[in-house]
Amino acid sequence: MKQLWARLRTLIAGLSPRERGLMTVAGGITLVLLGYLMVVRPVLAAQRSAELRVAAAEDQLLAVRRLRTDLDEVQARLSSVEQRIGRGPRGNIFTLLETLAGRSAVKVESMEPQTSLSSERYRETKVEVVLKSVTLGQAVNYLHQIESAEQVLSVKSLRIRTRRDDSKLLDVTFTVSSFEPLS
């Protein structure tokens, strides 16, 4: 290593003052460029990377807050429904649907029990209801009666078709569920 420094000193000593000045400027530019490439540029890249990670984390935090709000809302609605099921009246869903049909001036064509999934806490009773030749007003009134009944009823599916013989009348098929606590 000492020999290398000695050669370098001899080489520099043999240069003219103008060449030494140019070499000093070139060495300074090289040091500045190396300093930029080895220190400044990595620091700037790390700063940009940190800014991107912060932005992503803030977006994730916003999404989590929205999900939390949605979860709280769903849990409140679920709690309300569970309270209605727990304190609501119990009875035969077929009888209730017939009574509500009478109030709505609708003649029920058929009511067929459907299979339903079991739950740990609730028994679900499903019924498919078929209405033939009803007006839109009658169908809406009947569905409203079902949704606003004291016993918790839920319309799960709904199919409405206009009749070929009279376009003012409808054939309506829907499934209604009722829930009762198991305990």
- CA-to-CA distance for 31 and 38, rounded, in angstroms? 10
- Three-state secondary structure call for residue 76: helix
Residue 107 CA to residue 54 CA, distance in Å, equals 63
Q: What is the pLDDT of residue 20?
A: 83
pTM confidence score: 0.57
pLDDT, residue 73, reads 96
Question: For residue 183, what pLDDT is reported?
Answer: 65
Residue 142 has pLDDT above 70, yes or no: yes
| Domain range 93-181, its CATH number among 3.40.47.10, 2.30.30.60, 1.10.760.10, 3.30.70.60 | 3.30.70.60
Question: How many Cβ atoms from other residues are within 10 Å of residue 139's Cβ?
Answer: 20
Tens digit of pLDDT for each residue in 8-64? 888 888 888 898 888 889 889 999 999 888 999 999 999 999 999 999 999 999 999
Q: Is 86 helix (H, G, I), strand (E, B) or coil?
A: helix
Average pLDDT score, the chain: 88
Among 106, 173, 108, 99, CA closest to 137: 106
> Mean of the pLDDT values across residues 169-179?
90
Task: Kindly report which listed range (2-11, 27-36, 69-78, 118-127) carries the lowest average pLDDT score.
Answer: 118-127
Q: How many CA atoms lie within 13 A of 120 on its CB side?
A: 0
Domain ranges of the chain: 1-87, 93-181
